[in-house]
Amino acid sequence: MYGILLIMGTGILLGYLFRKPLKHGLLLDKWILWSIFLLLFMMGLSIGHDQLIMSSLPSLGLMALAISLSASLGSLVFALLLWHMYFKNRK
Amino acid sequence: MKNSLYILAAFLAGILAGRLPFASVLLAHPGTGKYALYLLMLLVGMGIGADPRSLKLVRAQGVRLFLLPLATLAGTFTGVAVLAGLLEEIGLREALAVGAGFGYYSLSSILITQLHSESLGVVALLSNIIREVLTLILAPLMVIVFGKLAPIAAAGATSMDTTLPVISRVSGREFAIIALFHGILLTILVPIMVPAILRLFPGA
């Protein structure tokens, strides 16, 4: 797991060092998008092939909905607190 | 938004292909996914390093910019921790890891699939897509009930791109800079927080 962070850190350093050629030449965003396509296709592939996961999709979906609702609600409440504490009177 | 649809289409196409009888031939060797993830992480890192916007913003706006990302982080983790406490089907470790996707569903689902399991990867994918969609649909309501920072916090990492147009419409254009920095910072935090949570919290 530390390997992933190390690789991203290396990427940030490389990106910073080569920020000028990266902005003009290589289409970084396009590469990122295509590797995401590929990874999600592969993820779908092994999920579609896995009978156990396919049959539990409805319950996984419910769990996902519960997590996104609670995560969003928590952020909204904290945003409201911050708004009243710090931002409201400054703008 | 268009890219989000393509990403989802790639995933659905994968599922359909996986249903085919000869899918096992297509299935990549175990380990290929890991190297594809490494490549993605390198590219994502390079994208962050090459993007001058975040550094410029910090210089121009100072510490105040960090308050909202911090609130989003604390709010998200509090929310999912309460949920994990209420429902015994959902473990704290899993809820925090999925929550730490902050709406960045492509990267968080890939990370969780590799570091935890495919089924939690699916949860991360769906949950973080739902977070983005909720923000897109409910942003006008969020501003009324929870104030002008609310849609940005709900958007999570997506406040730098897909949800930015909606945010600047409902909160006002003066919040676009706050939203942009908020999204950039949380985007950087996703690949740090997800592995960190899965590592720090002991498995069930």
Report d(CA A61, CA A74) in Å as an integer: 20
Work out the pLDDT band at A28, boundaries 50, 70, 90: confident
Contacts of B3 (CB under 8 A, 6+ apart): A33
Report d(CA B121, CA B162) in Å as an integer: 22
Handedness of CA A69, A70, A74, A80 (dihedral sign): positive
Asked whether residue A87 is assigned to any structural domain, the reply reads yes
Task: Give the 3-state secondary structure of residue B76.
Answer: helix
Contacts of B196 (CB under 8 A, 6+ apart): A1
Q: What percent of chain B has pLDDT over 70?
A: 89
Asked whether residue A25 is assigned to any structural domain, the reply reads no
Report d(CA B118, CA A50) in Å as an integer: 10
pTM over 0.95: no
Max CA distance (Å), chain B? 57
> If you search the block for the tokens 């570091």, which residue do you land on?
B115
Contact B106, A40 (CB under 8 A): yes
- Which of A70, A5, A58, A75 lies closest to B158 in space, CA to CA? A75
Instruction: Please count the helices (runs of H) and the strands (runs of E) in chain A.
Output: 5, 0
Cβ of A60 within 8 Å of Cβ of B153? The answer is no
Asked whether residue A22 is assigned to any structural domain, the reply reads no
One digit per residue, the tens of pLDDT, for chain B of length 204 reads: 566 778 788 888 988 988 887 766 666 566 667 777 888 888 888 887 887 776 676 676 677 789 999 999 999 999 999 999 999 889 999 999 999 999 998 899 999 998 999 999 999 999 999 999 899 899 999 999 999 999 999 999 999 888 888 898 899 888 888 898 899 899 989 999 999 999 888 765
Q: Residue A85 belongs to what domain range?
A: 56-91
Asked whether residue A68 is assigned to any structural domain, the reply reads yes
- The encoded tokens of residue A66 equal 């519960």
Asked whether residue A5 is assigned to any structural domain, the reply reads no
Q: Which residue of B has its CA nearest to A53?
A: B119
Interface predicted TM-score (ipTM) of this complex, two decimals: 0.86
Q: How many domains does chain A have?
A: 1
Query: Cβ contacts (< 8 Å) between B150 and chain A: which residues?
Result: 75-76, 79-80, 83
Of B33, B118, B150, nearest to A47 by CB-CB distance is B118
Query: Cβ contacts (< 8 Å) between A67 and chain B: which residues?
Result: 80, 83, 90, 95, 98-99, 123, 127
**Residue pLDDT, tens place only, B116-132:** 999 999 999 999 999 99
Report d(CA B63, CA A78) in Å as an integer: 18
Distance from CA of B169 to the nearest CA of A (A): 17
Query: Cβ contacts (< 8 Å) between A4 and chain B: which residues?
Result: 37-38, 41, 111, 191, 195
**Residue pLDDT, tens place only, B154-191:** 999 999 888 888 898 899 888 888 898 899 899 989 99
Of B7, B26, B28, nearest to A37 by CB-CB distance is B7
